């Protein structure tokens, strides 16, 4: 059984490699791991400010409305959102747990060393909760960050966000292609 699992991983890696060769322009990048259900819960830890609720559900609903079969749902779960200290330079971080080829748990921490905004137009000097939450929920799909400064800056999965940036609230067609390719 162990050998069987190893060769499966080898095949997955090889597939990713071949796709990269034939399509050097990456519309999205994906780990290859998905949830074994299309209905995944998220829960706000008590550290998350109560005023963030609608921004976070708006971020979840943005992915829910992307035309895939997947949905994020607020519920009591181990998949949690936290507001806590991270290192300088990081807005938020998501950890994925994988078991037997499937995603089994995600957590996201929003960095409390920065100021955050839920204002509809964003706020100068603040990171935008909805924009960053939409990006991090993309990592809950185990989409990867995108790094191409000439091709990817308008995509929700672009790796960088600035203060008062709200554009990641809405998905780019490539982000949509990403979730649809995983959950269809
Ligand atoms: Zn990211």
| pLDDT value of position 25 | 58
Kindly state the average pLDDT of the residues 34-53.
97
| pLDDT value of position 24 | 45
Provide CB contacts within 8 A for 86, sequence distance 6+.
92, 93, 109, 111, 113
From ligand 1's centre to the CA of 22, what distance in Å?
Answer: 25
**Residue 158 structure tokens:** 């672009």
For the chain, give the secondary structure using H, E and C: CHHHHHHHHHHHHHHHHHHHHHCCCCCCCECCCEECCCEEEEEECCCCCHHHHHHHHHHHHHHHCCCCCCEEEECCCCCEEEEECCCCCCCEEEEEEEECCEEEEEEEEEECCCCEECCCCCCCCCEEHHHHHHHHHHHHCCECCECCCCCCCCCCCECCCCCCCCHHHCCCHHHHHHHHHHCC
From ligand 1's centre to the CA of 148, what distance in Å?
Answer: 13
Q: Encode pLDDT of 98-114 as tens digits.
A: 999 999 999 999 999 99
As a whole number, the mean pLDDT across the chain is 89
Q: Encode pLDDT of 16-41 as tens digits.
A: 444 444 444 569 999 999 999 999 99
Quickly count: other Cβ atoms within 10 Å of residue 34's Cβ.
Answer: 18
pLDDT category of residue 86 using cuts at 50, 70 and 90: very high
| pLDDT value of position 131 | 98
Residue 169 parent element (H or E): none
| pLDDT value of position 139 | 98
From ligand 1's centre to the CA of 1, what distance in Å?
Answer: 34
| pLDDT value of position 14 | 42
Please tell me what DSSP assigns to residue 125.
Answer: T
The whole-angstrom separation of Cα 168 and Cα 175 is: 10
Domains delineated in the chain:
2-182 (3.40.390.10)
Supply the pTM of this predicted model. 0.86
From ligand 1's centre to the CA of 86, what distance in Å?
Answer: 14
Kindly state the average pLDDT of the residues 64-93.
98
Kindly state the average pLDDT of the residues 3-15.
41
| pLDDT value of position 6 | 41
From ligand 1's centre to the CA of 139, what distance in Å?
Answer: 7
pLDDT category of residue 127 using cuts at 50, 70 and 90: very high
More confident residue, 59 or 3: 59
Percent of the chain residues past pLDDT 90, beyond the cut? 85
| pLDDT value of position 183 | 97
CA angle 159, 146, 62 (to 5 degrees): 75
From ligand 1's centre to the CA of 162, what distance in Å?
Answer: 13
From ligand 1's centre to the CA of 136, what distance in Å?
Answer: 6
């Amino acid at each position: 059984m162990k050998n069987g699992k190893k060769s499966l991983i080898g095949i997955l890696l090889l597939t990713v490699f071949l796709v990269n060769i034939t399509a050097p322009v990456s519309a999205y990048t994906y780990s290859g791991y998905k949830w074994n259900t299309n209905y995944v819960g998220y829960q706000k830890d008590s550290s998350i400010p109560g005023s963030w609720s609608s921004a976070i559900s708006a971020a979840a609903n943005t992915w829910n409305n992307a035309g895939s079969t997947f949905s994020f749902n607020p519920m009591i779960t181990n998949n949690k959102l936290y507001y806590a200290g991270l290192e300088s330079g990081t807005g938020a971080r998501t950890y994925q747990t994988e078991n037997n080829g499937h995603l089994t748990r995600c957590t996201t921490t929003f960095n409390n060393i920065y100021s955050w905004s839920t204002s509809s137009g964003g706020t100068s000097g603040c990171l935008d909760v909805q924009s960053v939450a939409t990006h991090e929920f993309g990592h809950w799909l185990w989409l990867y960050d995108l790094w191409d400064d000439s091709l990817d800056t308008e995509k929700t999965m672009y790796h960088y966000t600035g203060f008062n940036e709200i554009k990641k609230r809405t998905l780019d067609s490539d982000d949509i292609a990403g979730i649809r390719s995983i959950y269809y």
